[in-house]
Amino acid sequence: MKVRMILDMPRLLAAPLVVLGLTSLGIGSLKAQDEGTVRIIDFGSDAEGDWSTVNDAVMGGLSAGNISTSGEGVALFEGSLSLENNGGFASVRTGIPDGALAGFSRLVARVRGDGKRYQLRLRMDRDFDGIAYVASFETTANEWITVEIPLGSFEPSFRGYRPRNAEPLDVGRVRQIGIMITDKQEGDFRLEIAWIGANRGEEGE
């Protein structure tokens, strides 16, 4: 997996918390929960993506975060969040194929965290800066969970604010997926990711 370091200005986001369908199963025990889910990023295969690291150092922040892969088919997003010098976020992101989310209603991720809150972030372009669409999720310390978030729950955000007149998220145009930790959660963090995918949800949703 290729990882690039990019410095970014602080984005101390206060996105709404969305947590659905948390399942405390082992990483290899998905079975029914995995049915109907298309894995867009899979760290157990060659579809892991080309990831960039985007932290708060450009404005003097001291947060550090990076992503790496293990030999066990998972990625590790880890580092330390600092609030000094107006800092307060660490993130990673990767591009996805055009139209990869078209026709889907939910974003799904298989993760094992540290009990902290993280964000999933979507962008409808391949630009470095600009509007992101954000939803937060909680983790359970040291337990694998499956997070399911309706794509309609992602809200627009630009540098920590909700921009006026932002267009709704068009899932067919999503071209980047990212993960961020912020919300003044100072200290070390650790999030393992097995895969990120999408499904169409239950009929009628």
User: Does the pLDDT of residue 200 top 60, yes or no?
Assistant: yes
The residue with greater pLDDT, 30 or 56, is 56
User: Does the pLDDT of residue 188 top 70, yes or no?
Assistant: yes
Quick one: DSSP state of residue 70? -
pLDDT given for residue 74 in this prediction: 95
The contacts of residue 10 (CB under 8 Å, 6+ apart) are: 56, 59, 61, 86, 87, 88, 89, 159, 160
User: Does the pLDDT of residue 26 top 50, yes or no?
Assistant: no
User: Does the pLDDT of residue 120 top 80, yes or no?
Assistant: yes
How far apart are the C-alpha atoms of 119 and 17, rounded to whole Å?
Answer: 9
Give pLDDT tens digits for 122-176.
Answer: 999 988 888 999 999 999 999 999 999 999 999 999 877 888 889 999 999 999 9
This prediction has a pTM of 0.82
